[in-house]
Every structure is written in structure tokens, then in C-alpha cells.
Amino acid sequence: MNSTFGISSREEKLRPSPEGFIPFNGTSLPRPGFDCELTDSLKRELKEAFISSVEKRMRGFERVGIMFSGGIDSALIAHVAKRFKSKLFLYSVGTEDSEDIRYAGRFAKELGLEAKQIILGEEEVINYYRRLQSLLDENDFMKLELAIPVFICTEQANKEGVSVMLTGSGAEELFAGYDRHLQCFLNGGDLRKMLHDELRALYSKDLKNAERVASLNHCELRYPFLDLDFIKVVTSIKPELNLSRSGEKKRILKTISIELGLPAEIAERPKKAMQYGSGIHKVLLQARRKNMVE
């Protein structure tokens, strides 16, 4: 956390620092093996490591937020987080007709939880874009559209006394969740190098900016999928096992999620990237065509 964005050194010292919790920065990644089959023993290790990762990131906090889109990543975090004592606050952001808003409320109820749905009109999306453009001194369209849901969720969390937010970042890079991973696999490319390179670059490319945005609202982002012990287990397994010739992605994550008790309907939901699932990209693209945003 950076005092530049309004967080004092005293506040930083008051934050619990749970034993075994190491913030992810991309520089201390375990060496990937990428050569093991998905045995029952490895599935058990994956599940145990993920449960431990969630617990480490919640320990010491009475209130914990979760950025909840209704996709498998955030739903699994929420499902596992129910095991622990912290009060959970789920936040979903999107336009009224967006997929994330449509699914998040329903899937949260299936998990026995409640998601606070923050529904945005077109004018609100544009106003947030301009506001973040000024706050961050940033004009990169993609960075700004990604910043909007992070800012809104952490803004709401701050109002409710929540200072830690769990997100599903890293799941795509670990479990081959993007279309580019599938195309690499289908075309005989070097999927293992692609995934490892993306993991190494994830902090500088995406997470650093997201953390800067969250810090504007005195909130800290934490990433259960990016626990080093969990990464070590995931990257010991052949990444090709996540993909199928029929186009399926993230197969290993779906398997362990269902085994951990996540309803299959949630685990199997096709998930769009945050800016698309929330409807924010669509609004901003139209606004840019009308020269309403840069």
C-alpha cells in the first residue's frame, strides 16, 4: 500500500500480516514442471492448497470483500471462504443487462450468500472513466475500462468498513482460460512457455495497476489463485489437460471446483473478461465512437 493514495504508515502497521501469506509480485514464481498427470493425489493437493490460500488471505479480518462476477473463479473463492469466520461482502458491478449482473445475484443465492449489485447506467460508466482518467493521470483505454469495476467495488467496500478484497486474478493464466491459450494448444504452439511468461508478467501488466486503483479507496487486493504453494501444485501438472479439441478451457479448475462442492452450473458457466461481462466495454466503445471519451 502506498501513502501517496491516502493510506498512512500507521494504518499499514495495523493490518494483520498472516503467517505464510506472501503477496504475489511475479518475481518469486516456483519453477514449473508441467509434466504430471492429474492424479487423485494431485487433485487432493490442489484442493487443500486452495483452501489454505483463501484462509491465509482472510485471517485476522472480521470483514472480507470478494469481487463477484458469478464466474467460476470468484464463485469458488466465495464458496471456500464460507468455511471461515469472516463476514463476507460480495460485490458485482455491471450495466443492467450485463451477464455478470444477471448471473451474480442468482449464483450468490445458490451459494447461500448475498451479492451487492452495483448497476451502472451509461452516463455513470462514462463519468467513472473520466474520473479515473484524472485520478490516475492515465489515458490508456484498456487500463481505464479495467480500472472501473475495481474502483467501484473497493469504493463500496470502503463505505462498509471492508479493507481487504479477494479477486480471481491469475486463474486464467494458471488454468489456460483464454482463447489465445486454446488457439496455441490447437495449433501446436508452446503453451507451457506462454503460460509461464504470462504469469511472470501478470503483476506488472495488470495487478500493479489494479492495486493502485484499489488503494485510492484504502482497500487491499488479495489473490487466492496466486498463492505460491498453490501455483507450485498447479504448474506441476500438464497444462494441456485444461483444454480440449472441442474448445473447453480450464478443465482442471472445473473438476476440483465441483469436487469442492461448487454447483456444476456455476463451474460450467462460460465466463467473459471483466470489462466484457460487466458491459462496461460496450458502453465505453460506443462513447469513444461518439468522441465522448478519449
pLDDT at 218: 97
> Rounded CA gap, 172 and 194, in Å?
12
Cα→Cα distances 200→31, 32, 42, 197, Å: 11, 12, 23, 5
pTM (predicted TM-score)? 0.91
pLDDT at 3: 33
Nearest to 158 by CA among 206, 204, 103, 217: 217
> Rounded CA gap, 4 and 154, in Å?
17
> Rounded CA gap, 239 and 37, in Å?
9
> Rounded CA gap, 174 and 225, in Å?
8
Number of residues that make up the chain: 294
> Rounded CA gap, 38 and 29, in Å?
21
pLDDT at 19: 59
Which residues contact residue 133 at a Cβ distance below 8 angstroms, ignoring those fewer than 6 apart? 139, 144, 293, 294
- Topology of domain 31-289, CATH: Rossmann fold (3.40.50)
Q: Among all chains, which residue has been given the C-alpha cell 503477496?
A: 23
Which residues contact residue 113 at a Cβ distance below 8 angstroms, ignoring those fewer than 6 apart? 78, 82, 88, 90
CA dihedral (166, 81, 202, 209) in degrees, to 10, reads 0
Q: How many CB atoms lie within 10 A of CB 276?
A: 15
For the record, the C-alpha cell of 73 comes out as 473463479
pLDDT at 4: 32
φ and ψ at residue 74, rounded to 5 degrees? -70, -30
DSSP for 62-85, please give it: SEEEEE--SSHHHHHHHHHHTTSS
Q: Tens digit of pLDDT per residue, the chain (294 long)?
A: 333 333 333 233 334 445 567 788 887 888 899 999 999 999 999 999 999 999 999 999 999 999 999 999 999 999 999 999 999 999 999 999 899 999 999 999 999 999 999 999 999 999 999 999 999 999 999 999 999 999 999 999 999 999 999 999 999 999 999 999 999 999 999 999 999 999 999 999 999 999 999 999 999 999 999 999 999 999 999 999 999 999 999 999 999 999 999 999 999 987 778 888 899 999 999 999 999 988
Q: How many CB atoms lie within 10 A of CB 222?
A: 24
